[in-house]
Amino acid sequence: MIDDIQRIDALRSELHRHNHNYYVLNAPEIDDREFDMLMKELERLEALHPEHADPNSPTRRVGSDISSGFIQHKHIYPMLSLANTYSIGEVDEWVSRTDDALAGQKTEIVGELKFDGLGISLVYEHGRLVRAVTRGDGEKGDVVTDNIRTIRSIPLQLQGTGWPDFFEIRGEVLLPRSAFERLNAEREAEGEPPFANPRNAASGTLKLLNPAIVAHRGLDAYLYYLLGDNLPYDNHYDNMVAARSWGFKVSEAMTVLHSIEEVDAYIRHWDTARRDLPVATDGLVFKVNSLRQQLNLGFTAKSPRWAVAYKFAAERALTRLRFVSFDVGRMGIITPVANLEPVQLSGTVVKRASMHNDDIMRALDIHEGDMLYVEKGGEIIPKITGVDTEARLPGARPVEFVSHCPACGTPLVRVEGEAAWICPNKEGCVPQIVGRIEHFVGRHMMNIDGIGEETAAALFTHGFVRNVADLYSLTAQQLATIEGFAAKSAQRVIDGIEASKTVPFERVVFALSIPYVGETTARKVARAAGSMERLMAMSPAELEAIEDVGPRIAQTTAAFFADDENRVMIQRLAEAGVRMAVEEDASAAPVSDTLAGKSFVISGVFARHSREEYKALIERHGGKNVGSISKKTDYVLAGDNMGPAKLEKAQKLGIPIIDENQFLGMIGEQ
**Structure confidence by residue, pLDDT tens digits, 504-549:** 998 999 999 998 888 778 888 998 898 999 999 999 999 988 877 8
pLDDT for 372: 92
Contacts of 248 (CB under 8 A, 6+ apart): 154, 155, 169, 171, 223
Query: What's the N-to-C CA distance of the chain in angstroms?
Result: 67
For range 315-342, the mean pLDDT: 90
Distance CA 569, CA 566 (A): 5
Instruction: Assign domain 588-666 to a CATH class.
Output: alpha beta
Instruction: Of 322-326, 506-510, 583-587, give the lowest mean pLDDT range.
Output: 583-587
Domain borders along the chain are 4-60, 72-311, 316-408, 430-502, 505-576, 588-666
Residue 68, pLDDT above cutoff 50: no
pLDDT for 574: 94
**Structure confidence by residue, pLDDT tens digits, 480-504:** 888 877 788 888 889 989 999 999 9
| DSSP letter (8 states) at residue 608 | S
Distance CA 660, CA 641 (A): 13
Count other C-beta atoms under 10 Å from residue 74's C-beta.
10
pLDDT for 425: 93
H or E stretch at 552: helix 551-562
**Structure confidence by residue, pLDDT tens digits, 387-406:** 999 999 999 999 999 999 99
Does the domain at 316-408 match CATH 2.40.50.140? Answer given as: yes
505-576: CATH superfamily? 5' to 3' exonuclease, C-terminal subdomain (1.10.150.20)
188 vs 181, higher pLDDT: 181
Distance CA 491, CA 251 (A): 50
Annotation says 114 is catalytic: yes
| DSSP letter (8 states) at residue 640 | B
Tell me the three state secondary structure of residue 420: coil
pLDDT for 1: 39
* Domains 430-502 and 505-576 alike in fold: yes
Q: What is the CB-side half-sphere exposure of residue 62 using CA atoms within 13 A?
A: 22
Does the domain at 430-502 match CATH 3.30.1330.40? Answer given as: no
Instruction: Out of 106, 114, 615, 649, pick the active-site residue.
Output: 114
Q: Which of 328, 355, 327 lies closest to 340 in space, CA to CA?
A: 355
Q: What is the CB-side half-sphere exposure of residue 481 using CA atoms within 13 A?
A: 10
Exposure string of 48-72, with b = 16+ CB inside 10 Å and e = fewer, is eeeeeeeeebbbebbbbbbbeebeb
Fold of 4-60: Helix Hairpins (1.10.287)
Fold of 72-311: D-amino Acid Aminotransferase; Chain A, domain 1 (3.30.470)
**Structure confidence by residue, pLDDT tens digits, 114-161:** 998 899 999 999 999 999 999 987 888 889 998 898 898 998 889 889
Q: Which of 80, 109, 84 lies closest to 95 in space, CA to CA?
A: 109
Give the pLDDT band (50/70/90) at residue 625: confident
Q: Which of 45, 434, 109 lies closest to 297 in space, CA to CA?
A: 109
Distance CA 94, CA 218 (A): 37
Residue 585, pLDDT above cutoff 60: no
